[in-house]
Structure 1
Amino acid sequence: MSAAPLSFAEFYPRYLREHSKRGTRVLHFLGTTLFLTAFVLALVWQRFNLIPLGIVAAYGFAWIGHFFVERNRPATFQHPWYSLLGDFRLYFDLLRGRERF
C-alpha cells in the first residue's frame, strides 16, 4: 500500500486483500464492536473517558489480527482515514452478510 489511492473506491479492494483471513476479520469485528459499545455507553452515561478505552480496544484487536494472523502492516499507518472508513464498511458488511468472516 505504498502509492496513495485516488479514492476510497480504489483503496477498499486493497483493504479487503489485507483483511482476507477469518481470524483478522473476527478480531476487527470484535474490536469495532467494543469501540461502538464504549462510544454508546459514554454518550448514555456521560462518561466520556470510555471513548479512549474503546479506541484502544479497537486498535488493539485489529493490530493483533494484522501482526499475528494476517502477518502484515495495518493500513492505518499509511492511510488512516481510508482505513477507518474501511473498518466500518467491513464491519457493517459483515453484519449484513455482504462479506464473510
Structure 2
Amino acid sequence: MAERFGSFAAFWPYYLREHAAPATRAVHVAGTWAGVLLLLAAILVGPWWLALLAPVVGYGCAWLSHLLIERNRPATFTHPAWSLLGDLRMAWLAATGRLGAELRRQGL
C-alpha cells in the first residue's frame, strides 16, 4: 500500500530515497529538463505537438530509470502532483549545484 503524506515537505524525503542511485537522479534530471525545453519550444516557436512530446520524454526517462536502474515503482503512480513537483525541484537543485547539499541534509 502507498504511503500517505500530509504535505510536500513530508513527501520530499521519501521522493529523494526513491531516487537514491546517482544514475536515476541523472536520468530524471535530464528527462525533466528535456521535457521543460520541449514545452517551452512548443509555446515559443512551435509546432504545437512538441507540447505533447514533453511529458512523454520527461516521464519516459523517469520511468525507465526506475525500471532499469532503481528497480522500484515510480512515485508518479501514487502521488502524481507531488512527484512532478519533486522532479522539478530535484532538477532545479541539480542545475543550481545544491542537490548534493540537499541529499546530505536528508541523510542520503
Global fold match (TM > 0.5): yes
Between 1:71-80 and 1:40-49, the stretch displaced more is 40-49
Query: What are the Cα deviations for residues 46-88 of structure 1, in whole angstroms up to 9, with x where unaligned?
Result: 4221011111000111011101100000000000000000000
1:37-48, aligned counterparts within 5 Å?
37-48=37-48
Which ranges of structure 1 fall in alignment gaps of 5 or more residues? none
1:14-93, aligned counterparts within 5 Å?
14-93=14-93
For residue 47 of structure 2, what is the amino acid of its counterpart?
R
Taking the aligned partners of 2:55 and 2:2, their CA distance within structure 1 comes to: 25
Taking the aligned partners of 1:48 and 1:22, their CA distance within structure 2 comes to: 33
Give the superposition deviation at 1:3: 2.4
Aligned to 1:4: 4
TM-score, L = length of structure 2:
0.88
Taking the aligned partners of 2:48 and 2:88, their CA distance within structure 1 comes to: 21
Spell out structure 1 runs of 4+ moving beyond 4 A: none
Which ranges of structure 2 fall in alignment gaps of 5 or more residues? 101-108
CA RMSD of aligned residues (A): 1.5
